[in-house]
Structure 1
Amino acid sequence: MTSETSNLPTPDQIRRSPKVLLHDHLDGGLRPGTIIELARDAGYESLPETDADKLGVWFREAADSGSLPRYLETFAHTCAVMQTKEALFRVAAECAEDLAEDGVVYAEIRYAPEQHLEAGLTLEEVVEAVNDGFREGERRAKAAGHRIRVGALLTAMRHAARALEIAELANRYRDNGVVGFDIAGAEAGSPPTRHLDAFEYLKRENNHFTIHAGEAFGLPSIWQALQWCGADRLGHGVKIIDDIEVAEDGTVKLGRLASYVRDKRIPLEMCPTSNLQTAAAASYAEHPIGLLRKLHFRLTVNTDNRLMSGTSMSGEFEHLVDTFGYTLDDMQWFTVNAMKSAFIPFDERLAMINEVIKPGYAELKSEWLFQQTASTSGSVSA
């Protein structure tokens, strides 16, 4: 191991670090084995593979098309097996378990209730089944020695016409497991301004919402999400890089929109691996997160769809550590950013930062320093 790489956190330290996840889709994070079992129970015979390992590979390869619309097609299979209370409960519980095992201490998981009504469930039954599943997953995680808190974001599909209805649903359950609202789906042709009534309603109710913007569509999508709709956070937001110029001598000039986003500390929900799959970025090295980190935007690191991307929070950070040489200090910076940007009350966010995140990283840094000292002492002795 070189002196340069020895300064970086190990995969084990990354996995054990406390992490915060703000952008993860429930229907994009199922276990392949669970999909197969739920499909069998539901009589769903359209799965492309019936072996768990092969099915996991199929999802990742289908998502590697470089096209957001093609990427979104993979969700037809996961949503098809999430149409009963029992299925929703199981998927939500396993989601919380999987995240906790990966070191996630706080997560906001989003899903679209309107996509789970094919077997006769009501919107309320969908929300309650998922909420119950998250609570069960939290209990199982605690029993396994892990700590996690999960909040739900209710998503409306931007190509549909139920945004206000879903916003009202999110408001009804805001003190019972639901922490905010989101819109998702292909950006092109479905601007967030189609759903202004939902956003105006949420603002009147003093509720929180994020908007998928600046992923597959450019600066106008980000501008509309912020200035017309009033989003608290931006889902992805990678296209903000289009409003930043880097001269040959390295001088950086921010446009008015990029400056606004940075000045107002608007959180960007970055999902590096997913962005590579949808061609929003060409490689990890070329992902805007590198420059935006140097410019001190309010960045967070996220998974988007763990199944389709074959990823985890630890996996995302491993890529960033390998690519940009990020240290435990950088990881803590991203994690504190995310916790500051969460949709739970301020005092609860502060408690998570001071009682869980900072102590967790302090312990890892102390461990890392001990290892470095021991390694140096060993080299001197040798």
Structure 2
Amino acid sequence: MPDESPVLPTETLRRAPKVLLHDHLDGGLRPATVAELADATGYAGLPTTDPAELGSWFRRAADSGSLVSYLETFAHTCGVMQTEEALVRVAAEAVEDLAADGVVYAEVRYAPELFVERGLSLDAVVEAVQAGFTEGTRRVAANGGTIRIGTLLCAMRQHARALEIANLAVRYRDAGVAGFDIAGPEDGFPPTRNLDAFEYLRQNNAHFTIHAGEAFGLPSIWEAIQHCGAERLGHGVRIVEDIKTDADGTVHLGRLAAYVRDRRIPLEICPTSNVQTGTVRSIAEHPIGLLAKLRFRVTVNTDNRLMSGCTMTSEFAALHETFGYGIDDFRWFTINAMKSAFIDFDARLALIDDVIKPGYAALT
């Protein structure tokens, strides 16, 4: 990597089958939907109701260089997602938008506790979102497309409901919930605050990832893996702080970086988002280049499509332009992600052999 391929048209990148492991439901709304739901639900807090202006506002507000400021934009999306009808609509549209972008498998995450302000129960939230995902999948199929969606339920690390949300994830795992996550501000809220939730998940053979190594460094990653037992790292990009490069180009992995690579622990890397939150200064300086070269289990993700104004296609395009990655590289990223998905082995293998590999072969 990279394979120094010729310039790839955007349409070619769009047609490439993609796998998305890190995408927030409340970070991926269509601007027009935000405005329409605000009107329908009586939410009066939007900075503007013009869809074009609203989309631009979200991107500008997210370009703060601070994870805390970045997270503040979610007050508006969560504010309009407090009814069952809104949740169904947002979930269905997310599936349609991802499929239109060439995504064939996605794990979409959200925190049920953020959508109970108007009286919905946690169960009602989950059931509404799952109904939306089912409806979106039906619409995609009716238009000749195919996509599979898995749900990740997040607990907010600054709150004290992780065990409750973990129990919810286990209860609904046969209804489309693929796993669990903790999200929210890392600094000051280490994953070890939620050890009871992770112990419960392990005892119930449930999958989970942990946001770690984004706003906080190596201790966050170490705790997520060694204390909590994370199967994947949400972002995990700051593992690069345990990698040293000599003047002659010789690379040395520290104990933690070597462990992450040797154990094939997937990194859910979100390039554009990492720039917005100040984790890295630019795509050109993003450690994904080094991590991919060293053959970490790197995956490419969107994080929040509304706030970042991005898609999987645009993330691929940025990596293609910056690092020269070509079709073979994107196939590698995609298979990495599919191998790391929280669905059963047979389903993962079928998507790799029957959808992903033939899809990339058709592009070459």
TM over 0.5: yes
Residues 63-89 of structure 1, C-alpha deviations (whole Å, 9 max, x = no match)? 000000000000000000000100000
The one-letter amino acid of 1:238's match is V
Structure 1 residue 240 displacement after superposition = 0.2
Residues 179-238 of structure 1, C-alpha deviations (whole Å, 9 max, x = no match)? 000000010000000000000000000100000000010000000000000000000001
Structure 1 residue 101 displacement after superposition = 0.2
In structure 1, what is the equivalent of residue 204 of structure 2?
Answer: 205
Q: Greater shift after overlay, 7-16 or 233-242? A: 7-16
Unmatched 5+ residue regions in structure 1? 366-382
Q: What does 1:248-287 align with in structure 2 at a 5 Å threshold?
A: 248-287=247-286
Residues 212-268 of structure 1, C-alpha deviations (whole Å, 9 max, x = no match)? 000010000000000000000000001000000011110000000000000000000
Aligned-partner Cα distance in 2 for 1:151–1:132:
13
Aligned-partner Cα distance in 1 for 2:278–2:144:
38
| TM-score w.r.t. length of structure 1 | 0.94
Residues 150-189 of structure 1, C-alpha deviations (whole Å, 9 max, x = no match)? 1100000000000000000000000101000000001000
In structure 2, what is the equivalent of residue 120 of structure 1?
Answer: 119
CA contact (8 A) 1:18 1:105 kept: yes
CA contact (8 A) 1:193 1:229 kept: yes
In structure 1, what is the equivalent of residue 174 of structure 2?
Answer: 175
Residues 2-22 of structure 1, C-alpha deviations (whole Å, 9 max, x = no match)? xx9872322111000000000
Structure 1 residue 144 displacement after superposition = 1.9
In structure 1, what is the equivalent of residue 44 of structure 2?
Answer: 45
Sequence identity (%): 69
Residues 80-120 of structure 1, C-alpha deviations (whole Å, 9 max, x = no match)? 00001000000000000000000000000000000000111
CA contact (8 A) 1:182 1:212 kept: yes
The one-letter amino acid of 2:237's match is V
Q: What does 1:340-359 align with in structure 2 at a 5 Å threshold?
A: 340-359=339-358
Structure with bigger gyration radius: 1
In structure 2, what is the equivalent of residue 372 of structure 1?
Answer: none
The one-letter amino acid of 2:330's match is M
In structure 2, what is the equivalent of residue 164 of structure 1?
Answer: 163
| TM-score w.r.t. length of structure 2 | 0.98
In structure 2, what is the equivalent of residue 87 of structure 1?
Answer: 86
In structure 2, what is the equivalent of residue 373 of structure 1?
Answer: none
In structure 2, what is the equivalent of residue 74 of structure 1?
Answer: 73
Aligned-partner Cα distance in 1 for 2:44–2:115:
18
Q: How many residues are treated as equivalent by the alignment?
A: 362
The one-letter amino acid of 2:295's match is H
Aligned-partner Cα distance in 2 for 1:48–1:145:
38
Aligned-partner Cα distance in 2 for 1:139–1:259:
43
Aligned-partner Cα distance in 1 for 2:174–2:343:
10
Aligned-partner Cα distance in 1 for 2:287–2:249:
15
CA contact (8 A) 2:272 2:308 kept: yes
SS of residue paired to 1:175: helix
CA contact (8 A) 1:8 1:326 kept: no
Q: What does 1:218-237 align with in structure 2 at a 5 Å threshold?
A: 218-237=217-236
User: Is 1:129–2:159 an aligned residue pair?
Assistant: no
Relative to 1, partners in 2 of residues 1:207 and 1:6: Cα closer, same or farther, differing over 3 Å? closer
Aligned CA-pair RMSD:
0.9
CA contact (8 A) 2:4 2:326 kept: no
The one-letter amino acid of 1:171's match is V
User: Is 1:313–2:312 an aligned residue pair?
Assistant: yes
Aligned-partner Cα distance in 1 for 2:100–2:85:
23
Aligned-partner Cα distance in 2 for 1:9–1:107:
24
In structure 1, what is the equivalent of residue 360 of structure 2?
Answer: 361
CA contact (8 A) 1:212 1:236 kept: yes
Aligned-partner Cα distance in 1 for 2:124–2:176:
13
User: Is 1:289–2:288 an aligned residue pair?
Assistant: yes
Structure 1 residue 39 displacement after superposition = 0.3
Aligned-partner Cα distance in 2 for 1:202–1:338:
22
SS of residue paired to 2:131: helix
In structure 1, what is the equivalent of residue 34 of structure 2?
Answer: 35
Aligned-partner Cα distance in 2 for 1:316–1:199:
31
Aligned-partner Cα distance in 1 for 2:143–2:252:
49
Aligned-partner Cα distance in 2 for 1:284–1:42:
38
Structure 1 residue 45 displacement after superposition = 1.0
Aligned-partner Cα distance in 2 for 1:311–1:266:
25
Q: Which runs of 4+ in 1 moved over 3 A?
A: none
Aligned-partner Cα distance in 1 for 2:22–2:213:
14
Relative to 1, partners in 2 of residues 1:187 and 1:6: Cα closer, same or farther, differing over 3 Å? closer
The one-letter amino acid of 2:221's match is I
In structure 2, what is the equivalent of residue 148 of structure 1?
Answer: 147
Unmatched 5+ residue regions in structure 2? none
The one-letter amino acid of 2:77's match is T
Structure 1 residue 142 displacement after superposition = 1.3
The one-letter amino acid of 2:229's match is G
In structure 2, what is the equivalent of residue 328 of structure 1?
Answer: 327
Relative to 1, partners in 2 of residues 1:28 and 1:212: Cα closer, same or farther, differing over 3 Å? same
Aligned-partner Cα distance in 2 for 1:346–1:294:
27
Relative to 1, partners in 2 of residues 1:77 and 1:355: Cα closer, same or farther, differing over 3 Å? same
Aligned-partner Cα distance in 1 for 2:246–2:62:
34
User: Is 1:60–2:65 an aligned residue pair?
Assistant: no
CA contact (8 A) 2:4 2:325 kept: no
CA contact (8 A) 1:303 1:313 kept: yes
Aligned-partner Cα distance in 1 for 2:321–2:260:
28
